[in-house]
Structure 1
Amino acid sequence: MSKDRGILYGIWLITAVLLVRFVPKNKIRHVIVVMFFKQFLTWFLGLWVVEKGLIKYPVRFMRKSNKSSFTFEYFIYPSFCAIFNLNYPEKRNKVIQFLYYLFHVGLITGGEVLAERYTNLIKYVKWKWYYSFLSLGITNFISRLFYKWFYKNEFENSETEGN
């Protein structure tokens, strides 16, 4: 097994552990909804980016299905987005919420930059790190809107109970 493939397995394991650690059992259905929605977004964007030749994924699972990375587009980004949404500081001030966005988007982007620099998991062709930062920020924002809309009754009930 190559070093890069070992890193892929490690990323899957770490992400699974993070999901178990940061997702309460009573919120599993929330995670599934958020992950499916984020996968819907990243499927379009991820395919567009690789088909336009902006990014390459030289080492990946499911090489014969398409050129995008199943690991990143369908597991890592959606998992981190679910953790982002479930732990969002809803009742905190706007500065804390903005810093929370920056932290989550920066964490993923930083990991992607390290992977691009030191592995063959991803290679930027006509891409820059700040494109990832921006696209992740936008898709996290859209997923946040969708999550609040999908579970609006639960959000309204929690606001009522807090008063």
Structure 2
Amino acid sequence: MFLANQLLTWILSVMFVEWGLLENPIREFPAASGSNFTNNYLLFPFLSALFSLYYPNHKSLGLQVLYQLMFVVGGGIYIACISKYTELLRYIHLNVYLQMLVTVIILNMTRLYGIWFFQKKTHQER
């Protein structure tokens, strides 16, 4: 789950920087990439793994929506704070709300990939 999410966040973060949607003025490896390493390759994949691990699959739809909102809004608040109070992230043609939409899509893509990858096959399907 962690590696699957790293793949998605790496591709998207590089695309967002190259397309001029956002920039990371201060970053760990400025010569290697225009992306922020800690947020995109460590923190977000870790939170995505936790999201998938504790997702309430067999609970009500309302609880699932609340669970997703908790992660997405929490991430949105974090992103808004680092965008406003630090030089780690600067939005150019992207905003926190679009970032939250991308976040919910990536979280669910990673979760569905994990369900597919770890599904148990019956003896006849092997």
Shared fold, TM over 0.5 = yes
Match for 1:135: what amino acid? Answer: V
Q: Among 152, 158, 163, which residue is 2:119 paired with?
A: 152
Q: TM-score, structure 2 length as denominator?
A: 0.92
Matching residue of 2:76: 109
Q: What is the alpha-carbon distance in structure 2 between the residues aligned to residue 45 and residue 143 of structure 1?
A: 14
Superposition deviation, residue 53 in structure 1: 1.1
Which structure has the highest helix share of the two? Answer: 1
Q: What is the alpha-carbon distance in structure 2 between the residues aligned to residue 105 and residue 75 of structure 1?
A: 17
Superposition deviation, residue 105 in structure 1: 1.1
Point out 4+ residue stretches in structure 1 off by more than 4 angstroms. none
Matching residue of 2:93: 126
Matching residue of 2:8: 41
Q: Please say if 1:94 is aligned against 2:55.
A: no
Match for 1:130: what amino acid? Answer: Y
Matching residue of 2:29: 62
Please state whether the residue corresponding to 1:152 is helix, strand or coil. Answer: coil
Match for 1:55: what amino acid? Answer: L
Superposition deviation, residue 49 in structure 1: 0.3
Superposition deviation, residue 134 in structure 1: 0.4
Q: What is the alpha-carbon distance in structure 2 between the residues aligned to residue 84 and residue 136 of structure 1?
A: 12
Q: Among 109, 113, 122, which residue is 1:142 paired with?
A: 109
Superposition deviation, residue 136 in structure 1: 0.4
Q: TM-score, structure 1 length as denominator?
A: 0.72
Matching residue of 1:17: none
Matching residue of 1:75: 42
Higher relative contact order structure (alpha carbons within 8 Å, sequence separation ≥ 6): 2
Superposition deviation, residue 120 in structure 1: 0.7
Q: Between the two proteins, what is the percent identity of the paired residues?
A: 30
Matching residue of 1:19: none
Superposition deviation, residue 73 in structure 1: 1.3
Match for 1:54: what amino acid? Answer: L
Q: What is the alpha-carbon distance in structure 2 between the residues aligned to residue 129 and residue 95 of structure 1?
A: 24
Superposition deviation, residue 44 in structure 1: 1.0
